[in-house]
């Protein structure tokens, strides 16, 4: 009797198994296999604070891509006095967010829209950035945000031919108490040491040209190559030197001193951002450095 019971249980188990197998085959015969998720490499985007201004405002850096070569674009070193350079930097940020494929795989683009946030903030008050009428008066210049919270011209605070007092046009300006005395300059020094960019572009206004950087040892060979590429694409003329008045402690000249190619793009006015010209210049830089070694 026990043997017959085991046989019945086995037969029932076999029938159930066959029913299940048939069910799977019938209802699953037209089903496609589950797709394997495709990994799409997209440039990494991050917003970082690289330092604080004298008045405690964030100095922001927006990064796009994850390549080993860092190309850096900087606006607003003269704050609200050159507010259009800040807008140009934010325009580039928006463009890269919308077009991440623009960034080659071997490159990281860093955009620092306002290296002097104190000056930008100063220029957005009641007597804001559109109110600049008399640049011969130093107080008017200050009120419109050329300097940082310590009344220092940041583009005179770096380690290349630094002097405690410098000039802007015919006016004397403070260069700080020593090289890198200002928190904004220290922040950019730290950023440079950590990222070692292959090139740095600074946006200024309003001379309608691109200017090379140089310190005691002259212009770097790589600087000549990249500035000519930017000039050709953007149609800004190249100015090999700035001769209107002596400039000491400039950030791009300090970069030349430590072997990093850099140059300054001077927009045509204090109001326009000349987007079409500059995006072509940016793309020329990406093409130049985007080639695999």
Q: Are 278 and 265 in contact (CB under 8 A)?
A: yes
Nearest to 184 by CA among 58, 27, 36: 58
Q: Are 57 and 97 in contact (CB under 8 A)?
A: no
The model's pLDDT over 121-162, given as tens digits with 9 standing for 90+, comes to 886 654 434 344 444 455 665 556 899 999 999 999 999 999
CA–CA separation, 115 vs 51, rounded Å?
A: 10
CA angle (90 as vertex; 209, 263 as ends), nearest 5: 30
Question: Over the chain, what is the mean pLDDT?
Answer: 83
The model's pLDDT over 219-275, given as tens digits with 9 standing for 90+, comes to 999 999 999 999 999 999 998 776 666 789 999 999 999 999 999 999 999 889 999
- Between 166 and 3, the more confident residue is 166
Cis peptide before 206 (omega within 30 of 0): yes
Cα-Cα-Cα-Cα dihedral of 272, 276, 278, 284, to 10°? -170
pLDDT band at 193 (very low <50, low <70, confident <90, very high): very high
Q: How far is CA 174 from the centre of its chain?
A: 27
DSSP structural state of residue 236: P
Which domains occur in the chain, in start order? 45-290 (3.40.630.10)
């Amino acid at each position: 009797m026990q043997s017959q019971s085991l046989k019945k249980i086995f037969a029932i188990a076999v029938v159930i198994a066959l029913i299940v197998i048939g069910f799977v085959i019938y209802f699953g015969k037209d089903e496609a296999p589950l797709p394997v998720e495709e990994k799409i490499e997209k440039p990494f985007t991050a917003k970082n604070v690289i330092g604080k201004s004298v008045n405690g405002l964030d100095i922001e850096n927006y990064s796009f891509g994850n390549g080993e070569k860092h190309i850096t674009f900087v606006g607003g070193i003269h704050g609200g006095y050159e507010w259009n350079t800040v807008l140009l930097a934010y325009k580039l940020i928006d463009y890269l967010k919308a077009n991440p494929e623009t960034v080659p795989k071997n490159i990281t683009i860093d955009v620092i829209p306002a290296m002097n946030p104190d000056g930008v903030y100063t220029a957005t008050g009641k007597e804001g950035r559109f109110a600049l009428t008399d640049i011969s008066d130093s107080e008017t210049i200050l009120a419109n945000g050329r300097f940082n919270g310590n009344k220092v011209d940041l583009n005179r605070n770096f380690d290349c031919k630094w002097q405690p007092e410098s000039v802007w046009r015919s006016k004397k300006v403070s260069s700080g108490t020593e090289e890198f005395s200002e928190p904004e300059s220290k922040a950019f020094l730290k950023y440079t040491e950590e990222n070692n960019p292959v090139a740095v572009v600074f946006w200024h206004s309003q001379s309608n040209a691109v200017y090379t950087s140089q310190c005691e040892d002259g212009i770097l060979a790589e600087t000549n190559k990249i500035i000519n590429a930017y000039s050709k694409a953007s149609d800004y003329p190249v100015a090999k030197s700035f001769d209107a008045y002596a400039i000491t402690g400039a950030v791009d000249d300090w970069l030349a001193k430590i072997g990093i190619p850099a140059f300054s793009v001077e927009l045509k006015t204090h109001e326009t951002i000349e987007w079409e010209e500059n995006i072509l210049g940016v793309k020329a830089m990406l093409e130049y450095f985007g080639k695999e070694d």
